């Protein structure tokens, strides 16, 4: 099944004109600066904004098709929305807030107790929203949206109003949600760490247009797309834990068709995981060095070399057996190694530089 979004809308100063398709269930991240059209897209999908033209379909069900004159009223779309500012009803307890959508929904698969358990809301049901912390409020808002039995869940920068600690508190809940419920979700964010952790599909947006869309690992490692033109750029490999070597204090992880060594993990073999490799941590070499502390030395092929003018650096996309990763080096290094597109190269990554994200 899939999620189809086509939309055209003209504002006085800007035009939003975009289309993307994403697999369902799965998390589709809309990534871009403010003004890129992310919020407009969500508002149209939720039915809160009627654009000049659009076509929205979720799992084969058409929610809007201006060409055919279809416009399902927002209260009948079964599209759940989690806002940046939670928007809990202040005159109701947490439990009443949670039941607001449930009472108005047709009988569905998502149960009250299940959501309370999933989001850890048990201790706060009788409380009022104003007595909750920002992170707790956001968890209640997610639960409330889920209980309305949505066919699609929209999350509009749900973590951007929270500090680092609160974010870290909610991210695991979102990851659990994704694993437990087979529900398509659209996640709007401008934080790469959230996107890399949660998204299956990444849609890059700029000035009301889609500049790149596809599986998250593929888009994150494309040196020619804006997602990699950031200080914290890096590739993402989807893989799994292969095994542990407790004597050496290392774990083996498969990702991109390569086996990587990382510091010992507390994950069972076979567990799916995501590995992020920051571009600035990647070393390129022409020959294998000897007597070096680096644990991971992998052969690859240069796919693309992108100049990063202002930084006086170069972003090199290196193809692996499946997928690719990014290395940020100086133009001088590229010249000394004689790197050109198609050239064979060795990639060196310290095991401590690999960031393993449990899904």
Residues binding other proteins (CB under 8 A)? 46, 48, 73-76, 78-81, 83, 85, 87, 89-91, 100-101, 104-105, 128-130, 144-145, 148
Q: How far is the CB of 143 from other proteins (least distance, A)?
A: 12
How far lies 161's CA from each of 83, 84, 134, 187, 295, in Å?
A: 10, 7, 8, 15, 39
Nearer to other proteins, 183 or 277 (CB): 183
Comparison of 34 and 130: residue with beta carbon closer to other proteins: 130
Q: Compute the least distance from the CB of residue 87 to other proteins, in Å.
A: 4
Q: Please enumerate in sequence order all residues whose Cβ is within 8 A of that of 190, keeping only pairs 6 or more positions apart, or say none.
A: 31, 32, 33, 34, 157, 160
The CB-of-167 to other proteins minimum distance in angstroms stands at: 22
Question: Least distance from C-beta 73 to other proteins, angstroms?
Answer: 8
CB of 326 to other proteins, least distance (A): 38
Q: Which is nearer to other proteins, 75 or 113 (CB)?
A: 75
CA–CA dist 274, 267 (Å, integer): 12
Rounded CA gap, 178 and 194, in Å?
13
Query: Which of 71/100 has CB closer to other proteins?
Result: 100
Cβ distance to other proteins smaller for residue 78 or 274: 78
Helix-helix angle 164-180:134-147, to 10 degrees: 20
Q: Based on CB atoms, which residue is closest to other proteins, 130 or 340?
A: 130
Among candidate residues 159, 185, 154, 160, the one with its CA nearest the CA of residue 172: 159
Residue appearing with tokens 């979720």: 58
User: How far, in whole angstroms, is CA 355 from its chain's centroid?
Assistant: 15
Q: How far is the CB of 80 from other proteins (least distance, A)?
A: 7
244: tokens are 């542990």
Beta bridge partners of 314: 307, 329
DSSP state for residue 325 in the 8-state scheme? E
């Amino acid at each position: 099944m899939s999620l189809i979004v086509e939309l055209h809308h003209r504002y006085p100063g800007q035009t939003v004109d975009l289309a993307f398709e994403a697999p369902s269930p799965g998390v589709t991240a809309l990534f871009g600066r403010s003004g890129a059209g992310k919020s407009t897209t969500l508002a149209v999908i939720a039915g809160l904004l009627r654009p000049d033209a659009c076509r929205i379909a979720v799992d084969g069900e058409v929610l809007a098709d201006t060409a055919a004159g279809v416009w399902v009223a927002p209260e009948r779309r079964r599209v759940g929305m989690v806002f940046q500012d939670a928007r809990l009803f202040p005159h109701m307890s947490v439990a009443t807030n949670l039941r607001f959508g449930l009472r108005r929904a047709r009988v569905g698969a998502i149960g009250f107790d299940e959501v309370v358990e999933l989001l850890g809301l048990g201790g706060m049901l009788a409380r009022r929203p104003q007595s909750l912390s920002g992170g707790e409020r956001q968890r209640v808002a997610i639960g409330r949206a889920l209980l309305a039995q949505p066919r699609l869940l929209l999350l509009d920068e749900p973590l951007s109003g929270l500090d680092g600690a609160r974010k870290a508190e909610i991210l695991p809940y979102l990851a659990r949600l994704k694993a437990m419920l087979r529900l398509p979700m659209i996640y709007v964010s401008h934080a790469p760490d959230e996107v890399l952790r949660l998204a299956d599909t990444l849609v890059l947006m700029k000035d009301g247009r889609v500049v790149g869309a596809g599986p998250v690992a593929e888009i994150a490692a494309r040196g020619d797309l804006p997602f990699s033109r950031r200080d914290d750029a890096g590739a993402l490999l989807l893989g799994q834990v292969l095994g542990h070597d407790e004597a050496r204090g290392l774990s083996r992880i498969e990702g991109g068709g390569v086996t990587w060594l990382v510091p010992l993990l507390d994950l069972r073999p076979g567990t799916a995981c995501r590995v992020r490799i920051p571009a600035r941590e990647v070393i390129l070499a022409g020959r294998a060095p000897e007597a070096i502390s680096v644990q991971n030395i992998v052969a690859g092929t240069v796919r693309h070399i992108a100049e990063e003018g202002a930084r006086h650096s170069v972003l090199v996309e290196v193809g692996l057996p499946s997928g690719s990763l990014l290395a940020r080096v100086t133009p001088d290094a590229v010249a000394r190694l004689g790197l050109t597109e198609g050239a064979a190269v060795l990639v060196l990554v310290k095991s401590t530089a690999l960031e393993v994200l449990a899904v």
